Structure 1
Amino acid sequence: MAFIDDHRDRFGVEPICRVLSEHGVTIAPSSYYAHRSRPASARAVRDAVVLAEIERIYHDPQRGRGLYGARKVAPAAAAGRGRRAACAALPG
């Protein structure tokens, strides 16, 4: 979906879907539009909150200083919430 979002202004959704289909990636334009109109899932919202917290900790001059890795960031992000952070929210 991100690919279509990135190129739809230049080529249009239908032509992109047609070319993707020719290369084995079948997606109907209606599926793309349905995906865009759907609200974010609870998991996506939760992951965005966790990711923002992880980025805040990572860039915090007192704590992370850009040096924290996943082993330190995940427990720090989970502190105070009573559960471990969703490491799947980590980019990369």
Structure 2
Amino acid sequence: MIDHLRDMGLGVDPVCRVLDLSPSTYFARKTRPKSARRLRDEELIPLVTAMWEDSGRTYGARRITRALVRSGRQVARCTVERLMRELGIEGVIRGQRRRTTIPEPAAPRPPGLVNRRFSAERPNQLWLADLTYIRTWTGRVYVAFVLDAYSRRIVG
């Protein structure tokens, strides 16, 4: 950004003053050699992009990592994840996101009988219910719980 503004005719000193940077920091950054991580990233970016393109833009970080390791490159999955994030690429997520409930805005809502007070002084004074689902290999299993607010245990 400073280089762009400098090319437009503004000096480095005024731009650094507005950005609250020291001009010596800017010049040190310009002359500093690239870090080992940056050099490694520049080596890996074309490989990651090529693997992703060759897969039809379907491979994620795990598969790209495995493919790179098979081809003889030592690379960590977190590095591939970071590079994919920087490049703005991602693998295909299989399956569909399913909404289990679709609320109707005009539907009447049952009244809150406990007024958001979920504590009890004795057992069996207040029971709470919850309905959830669990994903399994064959589909979804819906589970309903009834909890005693006093003991926080499932009673049904």
TM (norm. structure 2) is 0.45
Q: Which amino acid aligns with 1:43?
A: R
CA distance in 2, matches of 1:73, 1:45: 19
**What are the within-5 Å matches in structure 2 for residues 63-78 of structure 1?**
64-78=55-69
Task: Name the Cα RMSD after superposition.
Answer: 2.0
Q: Which amino acid aligns with 2:57?
A: G
Q: Match for residue 55 of structure 1?
A: 49
Relative to 1, partners in 2 of residues 1:74 and 1:7: Cα closer, same or farther, differing over 3 Å?
farther
Deviation at 1:75, TM superposition (A): 2.4
Greater relative contact order (Cα < 8 A, sep 6+): 1
Structure 1: segments with no counterpart, 5+ residues: 22-26
Which structure has the highest helix share of the two? 1
Superimposed CA distance per residue, residues 1-27 of structure 1 (whole angstroms, 9 cap, x where no aligned partner): xx3234331233212111112xxxxx2
Deviation at 1:34, TM superposition (A): 0.9
Which structure has the highest strand share of the two? 2
8 Å Cα contact 1:51/1:89 also seen in 2: yes
Q: Match for residue 3 of structure 2?
A: 5
CA distance in 2, matches of 1:59, 1:77: 14
Deviation at 1:83, TM superposition (A): 4.2
Relative to 1, partners in 2 of residues 1:69 and 1:83: Cα closer, same or farther, differing over 3 Å?
closer
1:45 to 17, 39, 58: 39
Superimposed CA distance per residue, residues 19-46 of structure 1 (whole angstroms, 9 cap, x where no aligned partner): 112xxxxx21111111111111111101
How many residue pairs match? The answer is 82
8 Å Cα contact 1:17/1:29 also seen in 2: yes
Relative to 1, partners in 2 of residues 1:34 and 1:65: Cα closer, same or farther, differing over 3 Å?
same
8 Å Cα contact 1:75/1:84 also seen in 2: no
Relative to 1, partners in 2 of residues 1:83 and 1:66: Cα closer, same or farther, differing over 3 Å?
closer
Structure 2: segments with no counterpart, 5+ residues: 89-156
CA distance in 2, matches of 1:72, 1:12: 48
